[in-house]
Structure 1
Amino acid sequence: MSRLIFCLLLLPALALAQGAGSLSLKDAESLWREHSRELALARVALAGAEADVRTAGQAPNPALSLDVSSISPWSGYGAGGWKDKKVDNVLRVEQLIERGGKRDLRVKGAEARREAASLDLSATGRLQLAMLRRAYFDLLLAQEKLKLAAETADLYARTLEVAEKRLKVGDVAPVDVSRMSIDKARADNDLRLARGDLEQARLALAYLIGRENEAQALQANESWPNPNQDPLAENVSLDKRPDLAAAKLRMNAAEADRDLARALRTRDVTIGAQYEHTNQSTPVNSYGVGISVPIFLWHSHEGEIQRAEADYDAARLTYEQQRALATGQVGQARSTLLAARDRLLRMQSGLLGDAERVAKAAELAYGKGAMGLMDLLDARRTLRQVQIEAATARADYAKALSDWQLQAEYEREK
């Protein structure tokens, strides 16, 4: 009966592995590029930055005004058409002329921000791809843990079934059966936890690839990377990191904004032309031109300039901060990768095999009566712990290797 239950438990996983929910890492990345919400938001931000460039290069529109004056409510407005009314009409057109290279500076800053937004799209893709690969390897690990938990639960169920039969003939002590029952309950709890972990891993991956409605059918079918290959074959360079390049461009944009604020001290000029029709006693048409400039009486834009100086300093310090952090991240990623590789190699080279041999020998010895129950249970627990550690080590190495290779992969795409 226990074998039947175990087979039924694995049937959904086998079906999924052959169905539409089975995903390789390449398939998951393809779905992510198509459905990623974070990438879509970054593309919208880039479209907005492109619109800002267009806006920055536009000249100020002229202003058209119509004034009506000399309106007398006592004498009336006069009979006839509008031109015969006893009012004065002034039609005026004004155009602001910017000086000091303000438009060029606006365009320079907007173009730098547009390029930064483009690099933000690349940086967002880099970060989200790292999250995708981690979520995929988490799912692969959850599947492996569920398999181990199911095998362990089935083993304890079969052992308890045999022990209960032996108890009826007086071949084992009741306390041994109780101990087996306790370990079986623990194994069943571990199995339920493994199922919950698998469900969470599926939901995390489903969000990233836009398959929330199909989360329960997702199944990772990728193989773990080989730790015997050189993991540092790819070189990681800071020069082409999109996040650092974007920070540098924002520093350039802040510099252009600072120069634009300083250019506010150069007075803009407004020129105008007008047509005036006077119709009080004798109709008269006249024309005029005008010019106006601001008077820096109360301030000379000191606040705007100070604000722009502070923004430039903040952008410069942010770039320096991000570059220093990136240098540390590369060193940390290298250290993490080497440590994960060493741990996995140690697990695979001896520890896992030793635990399996000890557990197998304990099962044989207990079956022949040469070993006590406590020693058998201890060997089983040790094997399961080592198996879980080995699976976790494979996942940790896969994630560390992906993080290391990601920057090089983006540089090759460029």
Structure 2
Amino acid sequence: MNRAATGVVRTPKWLTRALSSLKREAGLAIVFCLSASVAVRAQAPTNGVPGESSQPPAESLSLTEAQRAAFERNWDLLAAKSGIGLATAQLIVAKEFPNPTANWTTFKVGSRQAATPLGNTLWDRNYDSLATVSQLIEIAGKRHDRQMAARAGIQGAKARFYDAKRTLDQGVTKAYIAALLAQENVLVLNQSAGYLRHEAQIAEVRFKAGDISESDEKQIEINADQFELQAKAAEATAVQARIGVEVLMGLTHPKGAWRPVESLDNLAGLLAPPPAETKPNAARPDVLAAEADLRGGLANLKLQKALRIPDPTFSLGYEHEPPGGGPPVDTFNLGVSFPLPLWNRNGGNIKAAQASLQQFEFALGKVRTQAKADVANAEVEYGEADRRLHRYQEQIRPKATQVRESVAFAYEKGGASLVDLLDAERTDNDVRLAAAQALSDTASAVADLKAARTVLSEAELNSNK
């Protein structure tokens, strides 16, 4: 329909854009004033009036603080530390000697009168009394083998503690990075929603001017709403990631009510790939634990073989025989006893110890291979993530931003279609999310590489630190 025939005067586009710009500036001024007013009210004292205090700000938490708290309170690490105490107790048991056995026996033989010419006291009656003390003596190196197995158990417990610390450091770092990634996704999606809200305002002006249809305006608003909903979902994911960090920190009531100090960009810049360790006679803690298990299994096998040799029990006694039809006779006696290995040669325990030793050998080979594979996988993972990150930062993301800005400007001028605008917005949003993911993957790969390359020497393992 011809607008001149209906008496409607069409507003020039330059005037419409100017008015729209003024409206936006006025709206921003109003929003700024309202935000400042809210900030002033939030900072104003409440004079102790209940119900007027503002919500306390979320506590900040750095990666270093999270790691320190996890090393102090993490359940798995505390359990691994208690394992050292348990192994130490086993060594104390292995060093202890068996207690001697004392025996006192009093008996009366025959039907003679209890009284004797010496008297009628307990010691003078015609009761035969025998007192003996016996002591088991372990031979064939049993005590040495038992102590060697216990010392290997202590080394294995210490190595497992250091390995738990290594994996905990890796887990806390990756969980913290996941929280940063989720927070970065929230920012990206909110930015994308803000871009489309801005385009929706322009589309509203163009719709009123008759340049576009109402469906075009609604499509922009729908896409903006979708980005906002995705941002809300990302916020929930961020809370879950922060709760995961708190669980590793050993908090009893995790809520995720904290904000990270570092950003994803800053943390990725701080984390650098560690160099390969060159310590002599050093290995990863889990490898040292497997080696200690093998030494303990070998000592246990020697112990089980030594148990085939019976241990003698020496006894020393004193027998008191008052006169009862004869002169009093007091005697000392010395004896030795040992079991006869006729039916039981400890064959079952020896077979079990041999099987356990073989399992320890297989486990050691597997752990050594896994340690080398972890290093190789971490190096490949870091190389791929680092190259992907640089390509996103140096090529893809600048191009996507440039395309989005160009298409948005062209759409405002009427030189681009709605499909081009939405496609450019989605592409830019996806690229920024992918760039954040690449940054997170790079930082996580550094944490994996650090954990894979962490080694410990025998001196460090046996130290009391």
Same fold per superposition (TM over 0.5): yes
Cα distance change of structure 1 residues 287 and 149 upon mapping to structure 2, 3 Å threshold: same
Q: Which moved more, 1:290-299 or 1:177-186?
A: 177-186
Q: 2:285 aligns with which of 218, 222, 242?
A: 242
1:258 aligned partner: 301
Q: Is the 8 A contact 2:240 2:256 kept in 1?
A: no
CA contact (8 A) 2:102 2:133 kept: yes
Deviations 1:133-153 (A, max 9, x none): 101111111111111122223
Are 1:367 and 2:407 counterparts? no
Q: Is 1:236–1:407's contact at 8 Å kept on the other side of the alignment?
A: no
Q: Does 1:271 align with 2:314?
A: yes
Q: Which amino acid aligns with 1:352?
A: R
The runs of 5 or more residues in structure 2 that have no matched partner are 1-26, 44-55, 461-465
Query: Are positions 1:44 and 2:87 aligned together?
Result: no
Q: What code does the residue aligned with 1:234 have?
A: P
Residue equivalent to 1:215: 256
Query: 1:176 offset after TM fit, Å?
Result: 1.5
Q: How does 1:15-414 map to 2 (within 5 A)?
A: 21-70=59-108, 83=123, 88-164=128-204, 166-167=206-207, 170-211=210-251, 212-213=253-254, 215-222=256-263, 223-226=266-269, 234-236=275-277, 239-277=282-320, 281=324, 285-406=330-451
State the one-letter code of the partner of 2:78: A
Root-mean-square deviation (Å): 3.4
C-alpha deviation, 1:89, in angstroms:
4.3
Counterpart-to-counterpart distance in 1, 2:109 and 2:355: 53
TM-score after normalising by structure 2: 0.77
Q: In structure 2, do the counterparts of structure 1 residues 139 and 232 end up closer, same or farther at CA, with 3 Å as the change threshold?
A: closer
Q: Deviations over 1:129-188 (max 9, x none)?
A: 000110111111111111112222333344445545654554431222332232133112
Query: Secondary structure at 2:232's aligned position in 1?
Result: helix
Q: Distance in 2 between matches of 1:253 and 1:41?
A: 21
TM-score with structure 1 setting the length:
0.86
Amino acid at match of 1:336: E
Amino acid at match of 1:324: T
- Aligned counterparts of 1:236 and 1:330: Cα–Cα separation in 2: 12
* Conserved? CA contact 1:45–1:117, under 8 Å: yes
Corresponding residue for residue 12 of structure 2: none
Consecutive unaligned residues in structure 1, runs of 5 or more: none
Change (3 A) 1:407 1:324: closer
Q: Which deviates more, 169-178 or 76-85?
A: 76-85
* Aligned partners of 2:137 and 2:313 also within 8 Å: yes
Structure (1 or 2) with the greater helix fraction: 1
Alpha-carbon distance change, 76 to 391 in structure 1, aligned in 2, over 3 angstroms? farther
CA contact (8 A) 2:371 2:452 kept: no
Structure showing greater Rg: 2
Identity %, equivalent residues: 27
